[in-house]
């Protein structure tokens, strides 16, 4: 059944993940009431399925600066949004099991310190002292005290709920299926919801559709180089709390972090390329059981649940953010390549500035789609 | 790590060694295929044939226990391999089952899989249902039959179905005082409305009727009050149950306030019917449908009892609750069908005519049992009132301690699917993985968002479907070991 409804919006955002939700929220703070189209439920896709890492260390320089600014926002978000996001600055430990890895981390530390990010290099003794729960296989680590974690589901919801409260309209189970332009300028977005298809007149479309972004771009004749990839997370039963850090090792290809309720989330530093499949493979759980080698205290616990999510990978593993050349009124915020959760708030803030002020307080030019041209 | 580490291959894998699984395994083995039977417990039999603990074997077994023992001795005589104390925690592509058990390989690959996973007891979230001393009727039965332990001294049973009476009689015989048996339904009224349907459905169900009559007699002799159209609406006590509030129920199972009164007891046993355990079927890709008459989701099956997933069959209470006799027949049909499937794909010519002939007679018996199943569901399926007993502060998900109010709050925030409510509140994320609370939460969500229960659906199922020790999983490669042996180990 098709209903003809006529809607208007100053801005349409596609995707109610943490990026889309943050854009919507910060736009409402500048007096705009955007419409958000979400093809599934809130908190059903990659944002809410992520590890919830909020970290600035061990990133490409462009992302590092964004992450540092984002963490400044994170520090005040729970009060600002009036929502418990389980945000904890419990520190981030990046481990080394070889001298070569350790030397790489030390070089990175120099760059980070130069950018004003406070990190520490730990040798073997310091690692023993600061994180005695870790296996002796590791010979050192880089540590950032201001990094941390948040609950990815609650954080995604926090922005959606706050945006709604401030007047944004979030339409769930509603998919953006087309864009109309006139003279190279966006004029309306076509959507399909449970009640049928309808159009929203708007001069501005911000596309934060994660791995599902390329399809809509195609209807505009734009190639957006984002490919889906699968990652998965296992959760242990509750254990008495014994650490606060987000810990990762590229030697073991494992990361893990504590959740407030006492569970430990364990993920693999590896992805299955080019798939939208979200089943957890048998060998995936087997890989995650390596946590028992990294943190022997967890060796006797049980896995309780596991899930997979779909990452949006770009060729250079950096996000695509900002206006698209040739189509006025079409902005992208997609392709976060598995690092988007922490960046959501700052990207939302910067794009709201771009919409209202005509420019953002941090330059985003280097992240535009045209870098792939 | 000790024990076998490789994938084992078999022709037919049967999951669950209750009546359905035992009879499926026996039928398949007798038809000449290789059968591996997997069961969680130390002894085969499931809940229906629940065997006494090995240490108590010399005590007098009941008729179900004897029947179960006979069936198992036939099955093991037919060359079935049993993997006991083994949990099937996942199912993966290519009909591969992930196992965890002391003597079991980590994975089993089968040409055909017969799921006989049984059912969970349906519960109700009334105020006080999480107090110690409140348990399911099946839990009390397990204590009685396997451990010979009385769950308490003064027991109230509430809910629906003949199991209540059977367990009440068992409790009386074991020396407990049964304060009352409350049957929420009014079966007699329904029988009198359409008597002929019941005569035809009950014709031939002699052993069922004699079991029912003997329980009735035991309860009458002990002067146990038996009330139809009554139920428990709250349990009370400090630290454990000491009293329950009972009330008369209307036809929708909603309590009639004026009739409520308190009754003293130290144990409350509840059972509101059964919910088929469909997790493995769904993991293997079987489609499910809502069955309104039973208020549950069941796998869709064809006449061979095969699901929509190739090579996957499901039988017994796990496919739609129908009790022991139906399970025995379904097991035989699926066992033969699976054997025929294996033989048809095999190298030895694949003549399955004789197997198919055997199945003809079974189908007539199946029809008779299904008539009884339909009658049973008509008499003993709770009305909607059973899902409305929770107050705002009543816990609905006990593992994560999520209250009814928190579910309302999640829907108010905008959660518009069962999984969204789960994500926001953590309900269904605990150790039971939604087995206990799943139907309670789904009913609450249906009430809150105003969608029919069928549309609300079920919690998504993902492996592991039971908590699985990390130590039971073997990393895919030896890279970790090489890191451990290489540089970087402090000595």
Structural tokens at position B230: 């009554």
Q: Are B70 and B110 in contact (CB under 8 A)?
A: no
User: B165 or B57: which carries more pLDDT confidence?
Assistant: B165
Instruction: Enumerate the residues of chain B whose CB falls inside 8 A of the CB of residue A44.
Output: 417, 419-420, 423
Residue of A82, A127, A137, A172 to mutate when probing chain B, most B C-beta within 10 A: A137
Instruction: Enumerate the residues of chain B whose CB falls inside 8 A of the CB of residue A260.
Output: none
Residue B65 pLDDT > 90: no
- Report the C-alpha gap between A16 and B40 in whole angstroms: 43
User: Tens digit of pLDDT for each residue in A213-271?
Assistant: 999 999 899 999 999 999 999 999 999 999 999 999 999 999 999 999 899 999 988 88
Cα nearest neighbour of A295 on chain B: B470
SS3 sequence, A61-93?
A: HHHHHHHHHHHHHHHHHHHHHCCCCCCECCCEE
User: Tens digit of pLDDT for each residue in B222-256?
Assistant: 999 999 999 999 999 999 999 999 999 999 999 99
Residue B490 pLDDT > 80: no
| pLDDT bucket at B4, cuts 50 / 70 / 90 | very low
The answer for residues whose C-beta is within 8 angstroms of residue B367's C-beta and 6 or more apart is none
| pLDDT bucket at B349, cuts 50 / 70 / 90 | low
- Report the C-alpha gap between A45 and A51 in whole angstroms: 12
- Report the C-alpha gap between A8 and B470 in whole angstroms: 53
Q: Are A51 and A257 in contact (CB under 8 A)?
A: yes
pLDDT score at B1? 33
Name the residue facing A305 among B462, B469, B470 (closest C-beta): B462
pLDDT score at B2? 32
Percent of chain A with pLDDT over 90: 88
Residue B189 pLDDT > 60: yes
- Given an 8 Å threshold on Cβ–Cβ distance, is A302 in contact with B489? no
Phi, psi of B159 (to 5 degrees): 140, -130
- Given an 8 Å threshold on Cβ–Cβ distance, is A280 in contact with B463? yes
- What does the mean pLDDT of chain A come to? 94
- Given an 8 Å threshold on Cβ–Cβ distance, is A43 in contact with B423? yes
Phi-psi region of B452 (alpha: psi -120 to 50; beta: other; left: phi over 0): beta
User: Tens digit of pLDDT for each residue in A47-106?
Assistant: 999 999 999 999 999 999 999 999 999 999 999 999 999 999 999 999 999 999 999 999
Cα A289 to the center of its chain, rounded Å? 25
Cα nearest neighbour of B428 on chain A: A305
User: A369 or B377: which carries more pLDDT confidence?
Assistant: A369
- Given an 8 Å threshold on Cβ–Cβ distance, is B469 in contact with A136? no
**What part of A 343-362 touches B (C-beta under 8 Å)?**
none
- Report the C-alpha gap between A191 and B148 in whole angstroms: 63
What is the C-alpha radius of gyration for chain B, rounded to an integer number of angstroms? 23
User: A35 or B475: which carries more pLDDT confidence?
Assistant: A35
Structural tokens at position B266: 């130290």
- Given an 8 Å threshold on Cβ–Cβ distance, is A48 in contact with B423? yes
Structural tokens at position A158: 């926090």
Task: Tell me how close the Cα of A30 comes to any Cα of chain B, in angstroms.
Answer: 23
User: Tens digit of pLDDT for each residue in A105-133?
Assistant: 999 999 999 999 999 999 999 999 999 99
Instruction: Enumerate the residues of chain A whose CB falls inside 8 A of the CB of residue B463.
Output: 280, 282, 285, 306
pTM: 0.91
Residue of A16, A39, A46, A157 to mutate when probing chain B, most B C-beta within 10 A: A157
Instruction: Enumerate the residues of chain B whose CB falls inside 8 A of the CB of residue A42.
Output: 414-415, 420
**What part of A 98-127 touches B (C-beta under 8 Å)?**
98-99, 124
- Given an 8 Å threshold on Cβ–Cβ distance, is A281 in contact with B92? yes
- Given an 8 Å threshold on Cβ–Cβ distance, is B488 in contact with A302? no
- Given an 8 Å threshold on Cβ–Cβ distance, is A304 in contact with B475? no
- Given an 8 Å threshold on Cβ–Cβ distance, is B420 in contact with A287? no
Q: What angle do CA B328, B334, B337 make, to 5 degrees?
A: 140
Residue B489 pLDDT > 50: no
Instruction: Enumerate the residues of chain B whose CB falls inside 8 A of the CB of residue A292.
Output: 470-471
- What does the mean pLDDT of chain B come to? 90
Q: Are B182 and B124 in contact (CB under 8 A)?
A: no
Name the residue facing A137 among B92, B419, B488 (closest C-beta): B488
Cα nearest neighbour of B283 on chain A: A279
Give every strand in the sheet of A35-37, ordered side by side.
A169-171, A35-37, A12-14, A205-207, A330-334, A320-323
If you average pLDDT over residues B318-347, what whole number do you get? 92
Residue B217 pLDDT > 60: yes
Name the residue facing A280 among B413, B415, B462 (closest C-beta): B462
- Given an 8 Å threshold on Cβ–Cβ distance, is B487 in contact with A99? yes
Residue of B463, B470, B475 to mutate when probing chain A, most A C-beta within 10 A: B470
User: Tens digit of pLDDT for each residue in B83-127?
Assistant: 999 999 999 888 999 999 988 998 999 999 999 999 999 999 999
Task: Tell me how close the Cα of A47 comes to any Cα of chain B, in angstroms.
Answer: 12
Cα A100 to the center of its chain, rounded Å? 29
Residue A207 pLDDT > 90: yes
Cβ-based interface (< 8 Å): residues of B facing A: 90, 92, 96, 98, 107, 400, 413-417, 419-420, 423-424, 426, 429-431, 433, 462-464, 467-471, 473-476, 480, 483-484, 486-490
Q: Give the single-character DSSP code of A328.
A: B
pLDDT score at B485? 39
| pLDDT bucket at A282, cuts 50 / 70 / 90 | confident
Q: Are B475 and A289 in contact (CB under 8 A)?
A: yes
- Given an 8 Å threshold on Cβ–Cβ distance, is A97 in contact with B483? yes
The complex's ipTM works out to 0.91
Q: Are A343 and A74 in contact (CB under 8 A)?
A: no
Residue B486 pLDDT > 80: no
- Report the C-alpha gap between B473 and A303 in whole angstroms: 10
Name the residue facing A303 among B416, B464, B480 (closest C-beta): B464
Instruction: Enumerate the residues of chain B whose CB falls inside 8 A of the CB of residue A98.
Output: 486-488
- Given an 8 Å threshold on Cβ–Cβ distance, is B92 in contact with A282? yes
Residue of B473, B487, B489 to mutate when probing chain A, most A C-beta within 10 A: B473
Q: Are A50 and A154 in contact (CB under 8 A)?
A: no
A283 touches chain B (CB under 8 A): yes
Cα nearest neighbour of B284 on chain A: A279
Cα nearest neighbour of A298 on chain B: B470
- Given an 8 Å threshold on Cβ–Cβ distance, is A42 in contact with B415? yes
- Given an 8 Å threshold on Cβ–Cβ distance, is B417 in contact with A304? no
SS3 sequence, chain B?
A: CCCCCCEEEEEEEEECCCHHHHHHHHHHHHCCCCEEEECCCCCCCCCCCCCCCHHHCCCCCCHHHHHHHHHHHHHHHCCCEEECCCEEEEEECCCEEEEECCCCCCEEEEEEEEECCCEEECCCCCCCCCCCCEEEHHHHHHHHHHHCCCCCCEEEEEECCHHHHHHHHHHHHCCCEEEEEEECCCHHHHHHHCHHHHHHHHCCCHHHHHHHHHHHHHHHHCCCCEEECEEEEEEECCCCCCEEEEEEECCCCCECHHHCEEEECCEEEEECCEEECCHHHHHCCCCEEEECCCCEEEECCCCCCECCCCCEEECHHHHCCCHHHHHHHHHHHHHHHHHHHHHHHCCCCCCCHHHHHHHHHHHHHHHHHHHHHHHHHHHHCCCHHHHHCCCCCCEEECCCCEEHHHHHHHHHHCCCCHHHHHHHHCCCCCCCCCCCCHHHHHHHHHHHHCCCHHHHCCCCCCCCCCCEEHHHCCCCCCHHHHHHHCCCCCC
A43 touches chain B (CB under 8 A): yes
Task: Tell me how close the Cα of B403 comes to any Cα of chain A, in angstroms.
Answer: 16
pLDDT score at A287? 87
Nearest CA to B233 out of B217, B211, B248 is that of B248
């Amino acid at each position: 059944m098709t209903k003809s409804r006529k809607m208007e919006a100053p801005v349409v955002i596609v995707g109610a993940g943490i990026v889309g939700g943050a854009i919507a929220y910060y736009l409402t703070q500048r007096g705009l009431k955007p419409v958000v189209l979400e093809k599934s439920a809130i908190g059903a896709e990659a944002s809410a399925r992520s590890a919830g890492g909020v970290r600035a260390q061990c990133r490409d320089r462009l992302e590092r600066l964004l992450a540092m600014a984002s963490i400044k926002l994170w520090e005040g978000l729970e009060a600002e949004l009036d929502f418990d996001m389980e945000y904890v600055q419990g520190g981030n430990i990046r481990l080394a099991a070889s001298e070569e890895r350790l030397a790489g981390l030390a070089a990175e530390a120099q760059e980070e310190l130069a950018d004003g990010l406070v990190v520490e290099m730990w040798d073997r003794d310091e690692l023993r002292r600061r994180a005695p729960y870790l296996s002796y296989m590791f010979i050192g680590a880089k540590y950032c005290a201001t990094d941390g974690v948040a609950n990815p589901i609650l954080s995604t919801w926090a922005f959606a709920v706050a945006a709604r409260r401030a007047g944004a309209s979030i339409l769930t189970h509603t998919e953006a299926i087309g864009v109309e332009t006139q003279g190279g300028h966006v004029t309306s977005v076509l959507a399909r919801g449970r009640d049928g298809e309808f159009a929203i007149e708007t001069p501005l479309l911000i596309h934060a559709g994660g791995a599902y972004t390329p399809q809509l771009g195609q209807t505009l004749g734009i190639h957006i180089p984002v490919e889906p990839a699968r990652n998965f997370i296992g959760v242990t039963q509750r254990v008495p709390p014994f650490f606060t850090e987000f810990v990762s090792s590229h030697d073991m290809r494992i990361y893990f972090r504590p959740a407030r309720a006492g569970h430990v989330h364990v993920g693999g530093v590896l992805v299955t390329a080019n798939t939208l499949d979200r089943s957890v493979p048998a060998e995936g759980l087997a890989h995650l059981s390596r946590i028992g080698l990294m943190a022997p205290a967890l060796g006797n616990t049980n896995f309780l649940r596991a899930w997979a999510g779909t990452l949006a990978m770009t060729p250079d593993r950096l996000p695509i953010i900002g206006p698209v050349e040739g189509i006025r009124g079409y902005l992208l915020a997609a392709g976060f390549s598995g690092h988007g959760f922490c960046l959501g708030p700052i990207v939302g803030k910067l794009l709201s500035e771009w919409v209202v002020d005509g420019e953002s307080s941090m330059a985003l030019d280097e992240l535009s789609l045209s870098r792939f041209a | 790590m000790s024990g076998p580490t490789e994938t084992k291959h078999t022709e037919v894998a049967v999951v669950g060694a209750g009546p359905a699984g035992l009879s499926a395994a026996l039928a398949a083995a007798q038809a000449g295929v290789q059968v591996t039977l997997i069961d969680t417990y130390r002894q085969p039999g499931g809940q229906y044939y629940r065997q006494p603990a090995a240490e108590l074997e010399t005590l007098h077994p009941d008729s179900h226990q004897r029947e179960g023992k006979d069936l198992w001795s036939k099955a093991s005589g037919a060359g079935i391999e049993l993997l006991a104390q083994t949990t099937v925690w996942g199912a993966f592509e290519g009909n591969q089952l992930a196992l965890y058990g002391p003597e079991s390989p980590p994975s089993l690959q089968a040409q055909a899989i017969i799921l006989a996973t049984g059912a969970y007891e349906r519960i109700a979230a009334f105020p006080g249902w999480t107090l110690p001393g409140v348990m399911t009727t099946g839990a009390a039965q397990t204590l009685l039959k396997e451990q010979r332990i009385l769950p308490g001294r003064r027991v109230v049973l509430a809910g629906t179905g003949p199991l209540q009476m059977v367990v009440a009689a068992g409790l009386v015989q074991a020396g407990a005082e049964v304060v009352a048996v409350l049957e929420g339904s009014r079966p007699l009224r329904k029988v009198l409305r359409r008597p002929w349907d019941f005569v035809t459905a009950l014709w031939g169900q002699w052993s069922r009727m004699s079991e029912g009559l003997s329980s009735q007699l035991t309860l009458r002799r002990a002067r146990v009050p038996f009330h139809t159209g009554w139920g428990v609406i709250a349990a009370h006590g400090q630290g454990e149950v000491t009293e329950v509030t009972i009330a008369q129920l209307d036809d929708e199972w909603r309590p009639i306030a004026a009739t409520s009164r308190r009754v003293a007891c130290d144990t409350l046993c509840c059972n509101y019917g059964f919910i088929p355990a469909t997790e493995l079927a769904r993991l293997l890709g079987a489609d499910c449908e809502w069955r309104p008459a039973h208020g549950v989701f069941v796998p869709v099956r064809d006449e061979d009892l095969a699901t929509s997933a190739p090579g996957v069959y499901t039988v017994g209470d796990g496919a739609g609750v129908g009790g022991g006799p139906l399970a025995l027949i379904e097991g035989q049909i699926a066992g033969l069908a699976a054997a025929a499937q294996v033989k048809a794909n095999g190298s030895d010519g694949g003549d399955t005519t004789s197997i198919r002939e055997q199945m003809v007679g079974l189908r007539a018996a199946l029809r008779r049992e299904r008539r009884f199943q339909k009658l049973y569901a008509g008499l003993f399926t709770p009305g909607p009132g059973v899902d409305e007993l929770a107050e705002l502060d009543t816990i609905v998900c006990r593992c994560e301690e999520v209250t009814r109010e928190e579910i309302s709050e999640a829907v108010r925030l905008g959660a518009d699917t069962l999984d969204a409510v789960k994500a926001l509140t953590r309900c269904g994320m605990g150790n039971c993985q939604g087995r206990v609370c799943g139907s309670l939460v789904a009913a609450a969500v249906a009430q809150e968002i105003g969608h029919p229960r069928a549309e609300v659906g079920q919690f998504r199922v993902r492996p592991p479907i039971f908590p699985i020790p990390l130590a039971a999983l073997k990393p895919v490669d030896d890279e970790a070991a090489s890191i451990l042996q290489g540089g970087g180990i402090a000595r």
